[in-house]
């Protein structure tokens, strides 16, 4: 009886350990520089793990305002700012450098509040900046449906 009880509690501890480890693994994967490599999505080269992590940061923190949806405030503001000379959709831009992205993310502009390091760590910002300044073909390969900017969802 006693032996059976300790076997069961051992199983409970094991389940709890797995439950705790999974989110931690996912988070450190996103923040990792190059030591641990998250499993690459199908059709994406292993070396692109950093860009995949950056895309996840973008989808979590930026897409609400910078998506291709016609109501996206960031997309609307940037389309107006550049009067169509540059895509309003941030992910369609080919002129962004990691330095420019980092500067806007940490400083904010207009209705875009600065992002704290508790929200986006420096490592995540590195991934995000790498993603937004990566060759457009690589970025499009990571987007569910690559459409020309201005296209409706
Ligand atoms: C609350 C909405 C909002 C969120 C969230 C947001 N932005 Fe913005 N962002 C804007 C708006 C609006 C502008 C345009 C401001 C202006 O110049 O009038 C902008 C401008 C920018 C610019 C400047 C581009 C240029 O050429 O002037 C960059 C870069 C940028 N955002 C990156 C990001 C990134 C990266 C994230 C996610 C970490 C993000 N933004 C999250 C609303 C947002």
Q: Is 127 contained in some domain?
A: yes
pLDDT computed for residue 45 by the predictor: 63
This prediction's pTM: 0.74
DSSP code, position 35: S
Residue 35 near residue 50, CB atoms below 8 Å: no
Domain membership of residue 84 as a residue range:
32-142
User: Tokens in use for 56?
Assistant: 């996840």
Q: How far is the CA of 24 from the centre of ligand 1 (A)?
A: 29
Q: How far is the CA of 36 from the centre of ligand 1 (A)?
A: 30
Q: How far is the CA of 120 from the centre of ligand 1 (A)?
A: 15
Q: Is 78 contained in some domain?
A: yes
Residues with CB under 6 A from ligand 1: 61-62, 64-66, 73-74, 77-78, 81, 90, 101, 104-105, 109-112, 115, 128
Q: Is 150 contained in some domain?
A: no
pLDDT per residue, tens digit, the chain (153 aa), is 444 554 544 444 444 444 444 444 443 434 434 444 455 556 566 558 999 999 999 999 999 999 999 899 999 999 999 998 999 999 999 999 999 999 999 999 999 999 999 999 999 999 999 999 999 999 999 987 645 555 555
Q: CATH number, domain at 85?
A: 1.10.760.10
How many domains does the chain contain in total? 1
Q: Is 13 contained in some domain?
A: no
Q: Is 121 contained in some domain?
A: yes
pLDDT computed for residue 26 by the predictor: 41
Tell how far CA 148 is from the center of its chain: 20
Return d(Cα 41, Cα 80) in angstroms, integer: 35
The dihedral of CA 97, 145, 50, 73: what is its sign?
A: positive
Q: Is 44 contained in some domain?
A: yes
Q: Is 26 contained in some domain?
A: no
pLDDT computed for residue 27 by the predictor: 39
DSSP alpha helix (H) spans, the chain? 2-31, 49-61, 63-66, 73-81, 98-107, 122-132, 136-142
**50 Cβ neighbours under 8 A, 6+ residues apart:** 33, 34, 126, 127, 130, 131
Q: Is 103 contained in some domain?
A: yes
């Amino acid at each position: 009886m006693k032996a059976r009880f300790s076997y069961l509690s051992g199983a409970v501890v094991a389940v709890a350990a797995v439950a705790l480890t999974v989110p931690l693994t996912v988070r450190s994967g996103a923040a990792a520089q190059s030591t641990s490599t998250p499993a690459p999505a199908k059709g994406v080269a292993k070396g692109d793990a950093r860009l995949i992590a950056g895309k996840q940061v973008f989808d979590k923190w930026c897409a609400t305002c910078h998506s291709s949806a016609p109501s996206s405030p960031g997309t609307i503001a940037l389309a107006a700012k550049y009067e169509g000379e540059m895509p309003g959709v941030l992910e369609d831009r080919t002129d962004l450098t990691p330095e420019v992205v980092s500067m806007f993310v940490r400083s904010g502009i207009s209705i875009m509040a600065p992002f704290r390091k508790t929200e986006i760590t420096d490592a995540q910002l590195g991934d995000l900046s790498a993603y937004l300044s990566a060759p457009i073909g690589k970025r499009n390969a990571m987007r569910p449906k690559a459409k020309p900017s201005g296209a409706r969802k």
